Amino acid sequence: MTTAFSFIFPFLLMMALCQKVMMSCRKPPTGWIFTVILASFSALMVILPIAGLPVGRWLVSLYPNPSIPLTALLLAWVLKNAFQLNLLDTRALKTCWFFSILAGAALYPMALGAGPFDPYCAGWHFSWLFALLLSITFVLFFVKNRFSVVLLATILAFDLHLLESNNLWDYLVDPILVLVALAGLIVQVVTRHMAGITCGPGFLHHPIQRQPTLPRCGSADDSEKQGG
């Protein structure tokens, strides 16, 4: 099952690249016809053998453990381009970004010796990491955050040993996921900042100054009557 699942991420990556090429040619890759064509082409490219090894397995040899959240982000992007289906809404995407950045900040510096202990060891067996992940999943599910489904899929994938690794951390986060999360967060902050400059508070809340109303001058007959 691990070998079969290892083709999922390369297939989605190839599918996303094909969709990107079509969009660059100003041809939206939406609808069943384009999706079936691109999916068939992507599947053939992934299983195409090079030097006796399929292309998908070559990618696994270079990057063996793409995390489940990264695979979910790629799947959501492909489905949105294919069917205009938002698998992960804006709220779930933001949660994914913050979760990935925090997980990466907790794992990678300390795994390189920057902290008093190595948290990566907690991923080999049932530990505080699994309990914390399960608690976060329940909380997100209770508040109806779609990212809870991604975390639940991560737990199930770990239980089924779908990745090459047997460490829970590798199912949760990977370096590319952290970079994607940082890029998404930076783009959102810059977009909001540019929107604030374009329509700043001075533009939105500047009071409209009205010209004072001048008193109406009476007619010549009225002036003569007042004078008389």
- DSSP letter at 123 equals G
Helices (H), 112-174: 128-142, 147-160, 168-172
CA angle 78, 86, 41 (to 5 degrees): 15
The pLDDT score that the predictor gives to residue 204 is 46
Look up tokens 């008389």; give the residue.
228
Rounded Cα–Cα distance for residues 88 and 145 (Å) = 9
Under-70 pLDDT residues of the chain: 1, 115, 198-228
Burial class (CB within 10 angstroms; exposed 0-12, middle 13-18, buried 19+) of 108: middle
Let me know: does 154 contact 173? Beta carbons within 8 Å: no
Give Cβ neighbours of residue 39 (< 8 Å, ≥ 6 apart): 15
The pLDDT score that the predictor gives to residue 199 is 60
Rounded Cα–Cα distance for residues 95 and 1 (Å) = 30
The pLDDT score that the predictor gives to residue 184 is 92
The pLDDT score that the predictor gives to residue 77 is 95
Model confidence pLDDT, tens digit, residues 121-148: 999 988 899 999 999 999 999 999 999 9
pTM for this entry: 0.82
